[in-house]
Amino acid sequence: MDIETLQKRQRWTLEQKIDHAVATVESYIARTGKTPYVSFSGGKDSTVLLDLVRRFVSKDIKGVFCNTGNEFPEIVRFARSTPNVTVIHPKQTVKAVLATYGFPLISKEQAHGIRQARTTKSDKLRKIRLYGTDRNKGYISGKISDKWQFLINAPFMVSEQCCECLKKRPFKQYQKETGEVPIIGTLATESEARKQQYVRRGGCNSFREGHLGSYPLSIWTDADIWAYLRKFNVPYCELYNKGAVRTGCMFCGFGAHLEKPTSSRFAMLYDLHPKAYEVFMRYENNGITYREALRAVGVVLPDEYRQLNLFQDYE
C-alpha cells in the first residue's frame, strides 16, 4: 500500500466507494468473527457510516456514542434521537482532565511532544523533542516546532491526554466489557497523519492484535459524504445548518490558532451557546485559565475582539 494507491482510490466514483466500504465491513466481520459497532460521534461522517452499514450490511449494527461532556447540545440531541445508539461516558469530567493534564492546544502531535518534553525523565527523549533525530541524514523527526517550544516552560500544561481520557478510554472499556469491535468513520483527507495511518494499515481494515478496527470511509472525501447524505436523504445533525464546519468537542483548541476570529469554532460556540463558552474559558490548569492559555498561543477570542470593536481588522 502506498500514497499513490490511496490517491487513485480517492478518485473513484461514489458508487465504487460504497461497494468498497460494504466489502470492507463484510470482510472485517467475517475475519474477526466478532460483533461490530459503529463509533458514532453524531457528525456527518459517522452518520454516513451508520446509515451505510445498516442499509447494506445489517440493519442491526449498533452505534456507540461517547458523551464526553463537551459535545454540542445539538449533537447530543441528534445522537439520542438516532435509533439503536448506546451512550457511554468518560470516568472523569472535562474540568478535571484539563486541570490534571493540561489544555489541548496547537495539534495532537505538538501537544504530545510538549507534554513529553516537559514531563519525561529521559534526557534522550527530551533532546529528540527539542532537536529531533536523524539530523545527519537530512531530516528531523520528533521535534517540537521552534514556534511552540516556549510552551514547554509555560505556566500551564499543554497535552493531548484529553482525547485519551475523554474518548479513547471509554471506548476501550466498552470493547473490553462487550467483546465488540469498532467500525470508525475517519477519512484520510482529514490530515497527513490519517493518510500515513491508511498506508501503514495497508488499507481500510486493521487485524493487528489489540488494534482491531475497520475504517471503511478512509478513501472518501467530504464531497462524497455530502453526496451520500443527499443521495439517500439521510437525516444529519442540525448544527450543519447553523453554519458548522466541524462538530467535534465544543472547546477543543487543536488548530484553533489557524482560524479566523470571525469564523472560528469559538465564535460559533459564543454565538450558539454563550453560557457553555464562559464556563470553558474559566477552566484552569496550574491556576491559568483556558482563556489565558488560548491568548498565549495567538487565538483571538470572539468576545474580546467584539468588545474592542476590531471587526474590520480581522475580516
- Asked whether the beta carbons of 229 and 236 are under 8 A apart, the reply is yes
Distance CA 29, CA 35 (A): 7
Helix, coil or strand: residue 299 = coil
CB of 99 to ligand SF4, least distance (A): 13
Residue closer to ligand SF4 by CB (options 70, 82) is 70
CB of 2 to ligand SF4, least distance (A): 29
CB of 125 to ligand SF4, least distance (A): 22
- Please state the φ and ψ torsions of residue 165, each to the nearest 5 degrees: -75, -40
CB of 165 to ligand SF4, least distance (A): 8
CB of 98 to ligand SF4, least distance (A): 9
Distance CA 259, CA 314 (A): 11
CB of 186 to ligand SF4, least distance (A): 13
CB of 43 to ligand SF4, least distance (A): 11
Residue closer to ligand SF4 by CB (options 227, 288) is 288
Residue closer to ligand SF4 by CB (options 85, 165) is 165
- Asked whether the beta carbons of 15 and 231 are under 8 A apart, the reply is no
Residue closer to ligand SF4 by CB (options 159, 218) is 159
CB of 42 to ligand SF4, least distance (A): 13
Residue closer to ligand SF4 by CB (options 68, 205) is 68
Distance CA 214, CA 201 (A): 10
C-alpha to C-alpha distances, 23 to 18, 28, 45, 172, 250, nearest whole angstrom: 9, 8, 18, 25, 34
Residue closer to ligand SF4 by CB (options 84, 100) is 100
Report the 10 Å Cβ neighbour count for 42. Answer: 27
Residue closer to ligand SF4 by CB (options 94, 225) is 94
Side chain identity at residue 141, one-letter code: S
CB burial of residue 221 (10 Å; 0-12, 13-18, 19+): middle
Question: Residue numbers of the site for ligand SF4 (CB under 6 A)?
Answer: 68, 70, 104, 162-163, 166-167, 248-249, 252, 254
Q: Could you identify the residue written with the cell 442491526?
A: 60
Give start and end residues of each alpha helix (H) in the chain.
3-10, 14-32, 44-56, 73-81, 94-101, 108-119, 123-131, 161-163, 169-178, 192-201, 222-231, 265-272, 274-282, 290-296, 302-307, 311-314
C-alpha to C-alpha distances, 160 to 16, 98, 103, 234, nearest whole angstrom: 36, 10, 8, 33
Residue closer to ligand SF4 by CB (options 167, 306) is 167
C-alpha to C-alpha distances, 296 to 97, 155, 267, 289, nearest whole angstrom: 20, 10, 18, 11
